[in-house]
């Protein structure tokens, strides 16, 4: 068996800024063998700052300025960790995350941007929003604008700081408010005598534009405090404002001051090759960095221009070659939006304005974003030139094999194989055919035992360990048992000894935390090397009473589901680069949530199972067959993961879908929701048959605990079958 080259070096990109996004795009075109690439960013998308003012004005939708880091990392073969750095030990080559996780690296790079928060102003943190990070500001602005349109708040806005950013945002908000109300007030507050950051010719044009758009400029005005409905100035003036934005300069992230990094005014000082002074294994770029050899203002253009040099120097550092210097241009073109579709341009002290400049800026910005729309995708398996008899011409899969439960064998194949096994001869094995877990008599106690493993669908071993542990615990919870112990099976791709140790430590610590929170302990396991990451757990549980099986359902019972379906379709789309990164992030977060509390709520269920590889229809049919009942599902009531229906309608299917469809036919189902009934689920919800007079109260209790529970149908007398209405 030919295994991929072993991983020998960890490259960690801290932050999803413009430079790192461009490095990832270039890496996707030509990855460096032996490198495990990791990206750390708080969100699954990274907004492009150049389009922010026009988004605030309403010219762009929110997703038009988002770089989808999930898709980008998939194309680059990188693992994405949705978290943010809180500390960095450069000498020890470790980065600490807000979740408590600690990552070791061989080479790392910082591109975490800046903040416009102004904590020195009393009331800012409680009553204002910083222009950066812009995703928070953009979200708050949309909510405020909606409240203005509904007449729930006054249309009074104040912007602190009359540099280029403050001017652009003030005019953008004035433009948007003018289309919602005629009584809007927008104030621009500046401590200096006039606008800052531009030359005289540009400043004159901006002053005229502000006046034309009704923005009131307050110069030589220092802010004393901010309240819920006003900005109080040092000279005693009070400016009514229900939405206050801080845009007065660029501030470094506070946690950098607690590191051993060399700083200039709080920004990380770098050498000409973008390495941090004194640390050969750490780079920094973008607004968080200070280029001591060529100081420049905080502008995105420098991060974009630095990206190719950073990419080449990262590869050089990882391969032992020489790095090269970054020489930023001395001047750059400023294109300043004026709220409406017009702009001012400045370069070399000259200024121009007009609608044509906004159109030019729009083309530049869209061209930049287009770089992240067409990305390399995981190729389909090649069709063999010659094949053995028995295979249809079109039997070679057109898509990569799915991970998680999408990689499971079909239900019909498994059932036929298991049916051929001899019946147990031991009288302490109490299992019934099709139970979620084996039932064992141990002394006077009923013990249940299950095993499950998953082919990795995410490159982050910690996230994969959490989800796999939750998935394996599902069978224990579904039988009403208390988790007891677990053993682990870990297959790692080829790695150096150092990376093996890092990865195994991450996996085992993450899994142990999940099991301990559930009341169980990891007591051992087995590890080996293979072509790809695969994790599994064998879990035991103890039953205080009789285990809950598939066979106890009664006619008239209501079917309750605790979690949406559609994970297999979304994960299949993600492997093809066709899923929305925000949907992937929400899905993985939900899959990593334990369901022990839901199992306790449902402990009086007549029958219960967890929805996994055979899809919702397959697991409903399992209860029907074991209890000799018919199921009537309300298709519209079945909860779906966001994005799943659209992907299913577009023809996306998990590789397990055809077998699931054949094994559990459903009458009356149609459309995308009907397709998703057969979608394989990983770490899926609990499916319970409960007394009808208890169902509503149980769902309310489950929702109060944070579960997306729903009543999806009922059971009745009749031959085992599923019908949708």
* 517-535: average pLDDT: 95
Give the pLDDT confidence score for residue 653 in this predicted structure.
94
Check: CB of residue 616 under 8 Å from CB of residue 101: no
- The pair phi, psi for residue 56, each rounded to 5°, is -60, -35
Are 572 and 656 in contact, with CB atoms under 8 Å apart?
Answer: no
Widest Cα–Cα separation across the chain: 93
Q: Is residue 135's pLDDT more than 90?
A: no
342-376 tens-digit pLDDT: 999 998 888 989 999 999 999 999 999 999 988 87
pLDDT band of 400, cuts 50, 70, 90: low
> What residue spans define the domains of the chain?
9-113+252-326, 115-250+333-375, 405-412+549-725, 436-548
What pLDDT was estimated at residue 405?
Answer: 63
- pLDDT at residue 406, rounded to an integer: 63
pLDDT (average), residues 582-591: 96
Alpha-carbon separation of residue 177 from 57, 65, 248 (angstroms): 8, 21, 22
User: Which whole number is the average pLDDT over 45-70?
Assistant: 92
How far apart are alpha carbons 33 and 27 in whole angstroms?
Answer: 11
pLDDT for res 396 = 45
Instruction: For domain 405-412+549-725, give the CATH number.
Output: 3.90.650.10
Quick check: 689 pLDDT over 60?
yes
**For residues 377 and 379, what is the distance between their CA atoms, to the nearest angstrom?**
6
Q: Residue 2: what pLDDT?
A: 65
Q: Which of 71-85, 151-165, 380-394, 437-451 has the lowest mean pLDDT?
A: 380-394
Which residues, at least 6 apart from 177, have a Cβ–Cβ distance to it below 8 Å? Answer: 145, 148, 155, 157, 184, 186
What is the spatial distance between Cα 721 and Cα 725, in angstroms, rounded to a whole number?
13
The more confident residue out of 32 and 412 is: 32
CA–CA separation, 547 and 113 (whole Å): 54
The fold of the 9-113+252-326 domain, in CATH, is FAD/NAD(P)-binding domain (3.50.50)
H and E: helices and strands count for the chain: 20, 37
At residue 257, φ and ψ (nearest 5 deg) are -65, -20
Q: What architecture is domain 115-250+333-375?
A: 3-Layer(bba) Sandwich (3.50)
- Asked, colleague to colleague, whether 405-412+549-725 and 436-548 share their fold, the answer is no
Q: Dump pLDDT digits (tens) for 143-162.
A: 999 999 888 888 999 999 99
> Residue 714's closest CA among 697, 694, 689, 693?
689
Distance CA 664, CA 645 (A): 20
Q: What would the pLDDT profile of 86-99 be if each residue is shown by its tens digit?
A: 999 999 999 999 99
pTM of the full predicted structure? Answer: 0.91
Active site residues: 405
Helix or strand run (H / E) with residue 623: helix 615-627
Q: Decide if pLDDT at 389 tops 70.
A: yes
Q: What percentage of the chain carries pLDDT values higher than 70? A: 96
- The mean per-residue pLDDT over the stretch 304-308 comes to 93
Q: Which of residues 477 and 391 earns the better pLDDT score? A: 477
Give Cα 332 distance to the centre of its chain: 34
Q: Which fold has domain 436-548?
A: 60s Ribosomal Protein L30; Chain: A; (3.30.1330)
Q: Is 651 left (phi over 0), alpha (psi -120 to 50) or beta?
A: left
- Please give the Cα distance from 454 to 656 (Å, whole number): 14
Q: pLDDT-derived band of residue 560, with 50, 70 and 90 as boundaries?
A: very high
């Amino acid at each position: 068996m030919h295994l991929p080259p072993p991983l020998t070096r960890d490259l960690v990109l801290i932050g999803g800024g413009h430079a790192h996004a461009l490095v990832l795009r270039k890496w996707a075109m030509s990855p460096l063998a032996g490198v495990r690439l990791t990206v750390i960013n708080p969100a699954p998308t990274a907004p492009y700052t150049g389009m922010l003012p026009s988004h605030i004005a309403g010219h762009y939708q929110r997703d038009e300025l988002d770089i989808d880091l999930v898709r980008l990392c998939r194309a680059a073969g990188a693992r994405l960790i949705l978290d943010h750095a809180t500390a960095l030990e450069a000498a020890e080559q470790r980065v600490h995350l807000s979740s408590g996780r600690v990552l070791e690296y061989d080479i790392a790079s910082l591109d975490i941007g800046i903040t416009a928060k102004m904590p020195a102003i009393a009331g800012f943190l409680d009553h204002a929003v910083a222009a950066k990070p812009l995703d928070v500001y953009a979200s708050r602005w949309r909510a405020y604008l909606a409240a203005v349109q509904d007449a729930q708040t006054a249309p009074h806005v104040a912007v602190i700081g009359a540099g280029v950013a403050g001017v652009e945002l003030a005019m953008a908000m004035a433009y948007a408010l003018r289309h919602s109300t005629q009584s809007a007030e927008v104030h621009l507050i500046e401590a200096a005598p006039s606008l800052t950051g531009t030359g005289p010719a540009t400043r004159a044009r901006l002053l005229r534009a502000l006046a034309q758009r009704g923005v009131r400029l307050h110069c030589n005005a220092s802010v004393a405090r901010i309240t819920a409905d006003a900005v109080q100035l040092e000279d005693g003036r009070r400016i009514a404002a229900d939405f206050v934005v801080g845009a007065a300069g660029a501030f470094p992230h506070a946690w950098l001051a607690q590191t051993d990094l060399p700083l200039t005014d709080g920004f990380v000082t770098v050498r000409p090759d973008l390495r941090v002074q004194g640390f050969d294994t750490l780079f920094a770029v973008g607004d968080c960095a200070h280029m001591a050899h060529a100081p420049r203002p905080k502008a995105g253009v420098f991060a974009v221009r630095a990206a190719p040099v950073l990419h080449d120097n990262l590869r050089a550092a990882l391969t032992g070659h020489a790095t090269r210097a970054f020489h930023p241009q001395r001047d750059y073109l400023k294109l300043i939006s004026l709220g409406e579709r017009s702009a001012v341009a400045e370069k070399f002290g000259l200024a121009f304005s007009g609608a044509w400049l906004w159109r030019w800026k729009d083309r530049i910005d869209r061209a930049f974003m287009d770089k992240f729309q067409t990305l390399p995708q995981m190729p389909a398996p090649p069709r063999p030139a010659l094949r053995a008899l028995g295979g249809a011409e079109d039997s070679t899969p057109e898509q990569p094999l799915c991970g998680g439960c999408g990689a499971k064998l079909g239900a019909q194949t498994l059932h036929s194989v298991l049916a051929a096994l001899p019946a147990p001869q031991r009288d302490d094995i109490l299992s019934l055919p099709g139970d979620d877990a084996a039932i064992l008599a141990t002394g006077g106690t009923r013990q249940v035992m299950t095993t499950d493993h998953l082919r990795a669908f995410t490159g982050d071993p910690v996230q994969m360990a959490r989800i796999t542990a939750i998935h394996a615990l599902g069978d224990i919870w579904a039988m009403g048992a208390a988790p007891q112990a677990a053993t682990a099976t870990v297959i790692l791709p080829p790695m150096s000894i150092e990376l093996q140790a890092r990865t195994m430590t991450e996996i085992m610590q993450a899994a142990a935390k999940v099991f301990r929170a559930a009341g169980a302990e990891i007591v051992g396991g087995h590890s080996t090397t293979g072509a790809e990451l695969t994790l599994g757990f064998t879990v035991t549980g103890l039953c205080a009473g009789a285990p809950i099986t598939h066979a106890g359902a009664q006619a008239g019972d209501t079917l309750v589901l605790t979690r949406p379906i559609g994970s297999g379709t979304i994960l299949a789309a993600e492997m093809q680069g066709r899923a929305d990164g925000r949907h992937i992030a929400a899905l993985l977060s939900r899959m990593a949530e334990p369901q022990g509390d839901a199992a306790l709520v449902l402990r009086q269920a007549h029958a219960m199972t967890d929805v996994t590889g055979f899809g919702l229809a397959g697991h409903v049919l399992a209860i029907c067959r074991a209890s000799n009942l018919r199921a009537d599902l309300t298709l519209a009531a079945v909860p779906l993961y966001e994005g799943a229906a659209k992907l299913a309608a577009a023809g996306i299917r998990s590789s397990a879908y055809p077998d699931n469809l054949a094994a559990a036919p459903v009458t009356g189902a149609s459309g995308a929701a009907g397709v998703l009934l057969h979608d394989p689920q990983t770490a899926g919800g609990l499916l319970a048959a409960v007394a009808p007079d208890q169902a509503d109260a149980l769902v309310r209790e489950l929702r109060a605990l944070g579960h997306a529970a729903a009543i999806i149908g009922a059971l009745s007398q009749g031959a085992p079958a599923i019908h949708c209405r």
